[in-house]
Amino acid sequence: MYVPGYSVLTLAASECTTIQDAKPIAGAPICVLGAGTGLGQCYLTTSDNEEYTVWPSEGGHCEFAPRTEQEVELLQFLKSKYNEDFRVSVERIVSLKGLVNVYEFLTRHAKRHATPEVRKLVGRDQHVNIAKRSESIMSQVDTDSVSNTALDILVSTYGAEAGCAALKWLPYGGLYVIGKIVQRCPGRFTNSDIFMDAFKDKGRVSPTIAAIPVKMVVADDLIMRGCYYLAIKTLRQLDTDRTIARSFVITKDGLLRFATFCFANLALGGLFWKFGTKRT
């Protein structure tokens, strides 16, 4: 994950929901985790000019570390499903596909009985769109106990992995949780202790991450905002005499003005191309 990392730099306080209240340290590292089609992770650091730079990672492909007997059984189930002898990545649990995996584990291996309506919606055909299957599970968490348990397992694993990321990068500038899962089920992160209990359960080093601000963001335009921010940042680096970039402020308003500038130039370019090709 890369571009979404820049998007968190555009967020106003009102756009974030606090999960762990702590005072951010200016210039300290920032960490971003986003569970959706996969489990994206990145971190941000500042340079001498005090601007943040995003460093992508493949942290979602680190090993899943089970913490309970049920999770040990889940690990064995996923090893068999994916024909893995030794390892299963945490992304196999913490993602939209992961939610379907956990649901299948509960209904097939653990012999939990879901309601017929949910079983029909989720289906067993591996070629059915994962987004639709996972949406079927999330839409039934209030009425189907298996769907509810599957989401709880995912959120708990998500919290544990976020805690691991916090230990690795010590993001005292803030740890942001974004992506489709929090957009669809924000209450599972704010109205329940499942995520934060797993996040903080780090034994003797638990106090280390107790001072890290943890925020949830449900905005659905983070990719676009990250692209705008990166475009402005790149333009500033190329425009050494600052004649163009000085007019762009990297805030949400600045992003919108830059977007208008970009689309206007694209439109003009399209017109020149259209009429230019006709003349030739």
**Distance in Å from the first CA to the final CA of the chain:** 43
**Nearest-angstrom CA–CA distance, 180 and 167:** 24
User: Whole-model pTM?
Assistant: 0.84
Under DSSP, the state recorded for 61 is G
* Backbone dihedral angles phi then psi of residue 42, each to the nearest 5 degrees: -155, 170
∠ CA 3-6-7, nearest 5°, is 95
**Nearest-angstrom CA–CA distance, 156 and 68:** 11
**Nearest-angstrom CA–CA distance, 4 and 34:** 9
Q: Which helix (H) or strand (E) holds 35?
A: strand 30-35
What are the angstrom distances between the C-alpha of 258 and each of 230, 264, 269? Answer: 11, 10, 16
Can you name the residues that pair with 35 across neighbouring β-strands?
Answer: 39
Residue-level pLDDT, tens digit, the chain, 280 residues: 899 999 999 999 999 999 999 999 999 999 999 999 999 999 999 987 678 999 999 999 999 999 999 999 999 999 999 998 889 999 999 999 999 999 999 988 767 777 776 676 676 555 568 888 899 899 989 988 999 999 999 999 999 999 999 999 999 999 999 999 999 999 999 999 999 999 999 999 999 999 999 999 999 899 999 998 988 888 877 766 555 555 555 555 556 565 555 654 554 454 445 445 544 4
**Nearest-angstrom CA–CA distance, 176 and 1:** 13
Residue 203: how many other CB atoms lie within 10 Å: 5
